Every structure is written in C-alpha cells, then in structure tokens.
Amino acid sequence: MKTQPCVQTLVATCAFFVISLSSCSLLHHDSDASHVIYALPARQAASSPLVQPMTGIGKPFIFTHDRFVLTDQQTAILAKSAPQWAKDKIRLLIIGFAKRDLPPGYARVLAHRRAESVRQALIEQGLDAANLHSTGYGNDIPSLSLEDSVVIYQMK
C-alpha cells in the first residue's frame, strides 16, 4: 500500500515526458480545473496550393452526403500507392473539400475530417506521420477543386 503513491508518481512522470515530447506540447494536468492544458504548436513550414501552384497526385477521393469514412475501395487504392510513397519519403498535403451549398462552418470541419481519414489510412500503410499534412477548405475556395472530395498534393 505504501508503495502505491510512488508507482503513481513514476507513471505520471513517464507520461509527462512522453507527452511533452509529442507535438501537442502538453503543459500540465490541472487537477482542480480537470482539463488538460495545451500550449498551441505552430504549423511547420508547408506549401499550399493557394500560395503556389501544386498538382494533385492521382484522382480525387469522392465522399457522398455527410460521409467522412473511406470506402474499402478507396482504402485499397491508397494501399496500392502507399508503399512507394513511404519508400520515397515524400511529403504529402491532403486537402478536403465539401459541397458548395453546405453551411460553411460545418463544411470546413467535414472537409478536414475527410482529409484526416485519408491521412490516417496512409499512416496505417506505413507512411511517416510527420510527412503527412492535412487540412480542410470546406467550400471556401470553390475555384480550387471538386466538391465533396479529398485531393492529395506532393509538397516540395
């Protein structure tokens, strides 16, 4: 019984170091406020098709209605390309888009969530998470791409 607090302290200390090393920069856990407090990490340098011309790799992934989960077919397509991308260690920017008539606030997050689904699938296929950036443009940039799609760009 006496050793239990020490074990807890050790576990908490280890957890603190592990989380501190991650990009989320966990500061501390305030037991009174009960919430984990984050210092916001800054985005690393990344190119964007808004700032410089970029071409999408392959065909856009299309999502219907409010869906944000990849179909088996889409997962299979990613699985085919992923080994080469992992081998080449290329940096990818994955951007989601949503239907033009959706409420814009919802469209932005839905688009990002779709892009994140593609990013997670690529991580599962062995790509380094540090080389995969995702974001969502919702329906804010109608000139850039198709509706309801996710486009993968190669970053230089």
Q: What residues line the site for other proteins (CB under 8 A)?
A: 23-24, 27, 33-44, 46-51, 66, 68-69, 101, 103-106, 108-110, 112-113, 116, 120, 133-137, 140-141
| Nearest distance in Å: CB 2, other proteins | 29
Give the residue with the Cβ less far from other proteins, 76 or 141.
141
| Nearest distance in Å: CB 79, other proteins | 21
DSSP bridge partners of 95: 135, 151
Euclidean distance between CA atoms 74 and 61, whole angstroms: 7
Give the residue with the Cβ less far from other proteins, 54 or 82.
54
17: exposed, middle or buried (C-beta count within 10 Å: 0-12, 13-18, 19+)?
exposed
| Nearest distance in Å: CB 113, other proteins | 5
Give the residue with the Cβ less far from other proteins, 29 or 86.
29
| Nearest distance in Å: CB 77, other proteins | 22
